Amino acid sequence: MKTNFTPEQLKDPGLQRANAILRTCVHCGFCIATCPTYQVLGDELDSPRGRIYLIKDMLENNRAADERTVKHIDRCLSCLACMTTCPSGVHYMHLVDHAREYIEKTYRRPLADRLLRWVLAQVLPYPGRFRVAILGAWVARPFRRLLPRRLAVLVAFAPASLPPVSRNDDAQVFRAIGKRVKRVALMTGCAQKALNTDINDATIRILRRHGCEVVVAKGAGCCGALSHHMGKSGDSHRAAARNIRAWKAEIDAEGLDAIVINTSGCGTTVKDYGHMFVDGDLAADAAKVAALARDISELLTELDLGAGNAPALRVAYHAACSLQHGQQVKAAPKNLLRAAGFEVVEPADSHLCCGSAGTYNLLQPEIAGELQARKVETLAAVAPDVIAAGNIGCMMQIGTDAGVPIVHTVELLDWASGGPKPPAMFRVDGQ
Pair 55, 73: CB distance under 8 Å: yes
What was the pLDDT predicted at 152? 85
Mean pLDDT across 33-45: 94
What are the strands of the beta sheet with 386-389, ordered from one edge? 343-345, 314-317, 386-389, 406-408
DSSP codes, 402-416: -SS-EEEHHHHHHHH
Burial class (CB in 10 A: 0-12, 13-18, 19+), 287: middle
Task: Check residue 245 and give its pLDDT.
Answer: 97
Confidence band for 429, pLDDT divided at 50, 70 and 90: very low
The model's pLDDT over 388-402, given as tens digits with 9 standing for 90+, comes to 999 999 999 998 888
Q: Is the dihedral of CA 238, 114, 396, 142 positive or negative?
A: positive
pLDDT tens digits, residue range 284-298?
Answer: 999 999 999 999 999
Across the range 64-81, mean pLDDT stands at 96
Would you tell me the crossing angle of helices 365-381 and 392-399 to the nearest 10 degrees?
A: 80
Q: What is the mean pLDDT of the chain?
A: 94
- Using the predicted structure, report yes or no on whether residue 165 has a pLDDT greater than 50: yes
Measured distance CA(335)–CA(359) in Å, rounded = 30
Q: Which residues contact 267 (CB under 8 A, 6 or more apart)?
A: 261, 293, 294, 295, 322, 323, 326, 327
Q: Are 78 and 357 within 8 A, CB to CB? A: yes
The whole-angstrom separation of Cα 267 and Cα 298 is 11
For residue 308, pLDDT beyond 80: no
Rg of the chain's alpha carbons, rounded to an integer? 21
Q: Left if phi > 0, otherwise alpha if psi is -120 to 50, otherwise beta: which for 304?
A: beta
* Cα 249 to Cα 171: distance, rounded to the nearest angstrom: 13
Tell me, what's the pLDDT at 428? 54
Calculate what percentage of the chain has a pLDDT beyond 70.
Answer: 99
Q: What is the mean pLDDT of residues 346-372?
A: 93
Average pLDDT over every residue of 111-128? 93
pLDDT-derived band at 141 (thresholds 50, 70, 90) equals: confident
Helix axes of 127-140 and 111-123: crossing angle, nearest 10 degrees? 130
> 157: phi > 0 → left, psi -120 to 50 → alpha, else beta; which?
alpha
- Percent of the chain's residues with pLDDT above 90: 87
- pTM, two decimals, is 0.92
Instruction: Give the span between the Cα atoms of 219 and 253, in whole angstroms.
Output: 15
Mean pLDDT of 237-253: 96
Helices (H), 61-177: 67-74, 81-85, 92-106, 111-123, 127-140, 149-157
Reported as a single tens digit per residue, the pLDDT across 175-195 is: 999 999 999 999 999 999 999
- Among 146-155, 200-209, 236-245, the minimum mean pLDDT is found in 146-155
pLDDT bin (cut points 50, 70, 90) of residue 253 is: very high
Handedness of CA 249, 250, 252, 254 (dihedral sign): positive
What is the predicted pLDDT for the residue at 303? 94
Domains of the chain: 9-106 (1.10.1060.10), 112-157 (no CATH), 167-300 (3.40.50), 308-429 (3.40.50.1860)
- pLDDT of 218 over the 50 cut: yes
pLDDT reading at 20 higher than 70: yes
Mean pLDDT of 163-172: 94
Per-residue pLDDT at 431: 42
